[in-house]
Chains A and B, each alone.
Chain A
Amino acid sequence: VVPGETALAFYKAKNPTDKPIVGISTYNVIPFEAGQYFNKIQCFCFEEQRLNPQEEVDMPVFFYIDPEFAEDPKMAKVDLITLSYTFFEAKEGQKLALPGYQ
């Protein structure tokens, strides 16, 4: 991935149970300092997503690394950035305190 160039990545999620699950995910970027340069244009996160029993879906993330990353001397040795997502089961009334996207 080249800083400044938009890129697409896919994750896959499966609901192995026989009940629908509603989940919500948040993400993490490693190394920590690279997180400020990671810009998501669109992804599946922050909104509740419902997975039916046994359903498996592709979860895309469309993002770019801020070109300023290449200028930051602290990032000079960073050639691997890891993006991970954690899914939580959404409970009634539990909402992440973030602007809603319809």
Chain B
Amino acid sequence: MSTAMNFGSKSFKPRPPDKGAFPLDHFGECSAFKERFMECLRHSGYESGACRQRAMAYLECRMERQLMANEPLEKLGFKDLIDEKSEAKPEK
């Protein structure tokens, strides 16, 4: 039972997410990581690219607490950050 009210234009078809749904973080286990990320966004004038390190930290937090399926970070678009990390390792 679909209503096609727009003549000639395609209806918007929502697509499910590639990797499924995030379970809710009911206990706010990763809220601190989220806050750090949001703080970065505010300071950078909402430039997403400037805050990728903290976005990655947030997703790592989720993975560690079973709030996200484990996925290699390189596959989530963070390959360049991972490569930087491994280059910087000798200093540690």
Which residues of A are in contact with B by a Cβ distance under 8 Å?
1-2, 5-8, 10, 26-29, 32, 35, 39-47, 49-52, 55, 57-60, 62, 64, 98-99, 101-102
Contact = CB atoms under 8 A, between A and B. Distances in A.
B12 to A, nearest CB: 6
Given A10-B38, A46-B16, A5 B49 contact: yes
Contact of B21 (A6, A10, A47): A47
Contact of A7 (B21, B34, B48): B48
6 contacts: A5-B52, A26-B14, A40-B15, A43-B22, A55-B26, A57-B26
Contacts of B48: 1-2, 5, 7-8
Contact of B18 (A2, A39, A45): A39
A26 B4 CA distance: 19
The dominant DSSP class at the A interface is strand
A21 B7 CA distance: 37
B24 interface: yes
B3 to A, nearest CB: 16
B25 A57 contact: yes
A5 B77 contact: yes
B86 interface: no
- A-B interface, 5 closest residue pairs, ranked by CB to CB distance from nearest: A6-B77, A101-B20, A40-B17, A47-B21, A8-B55
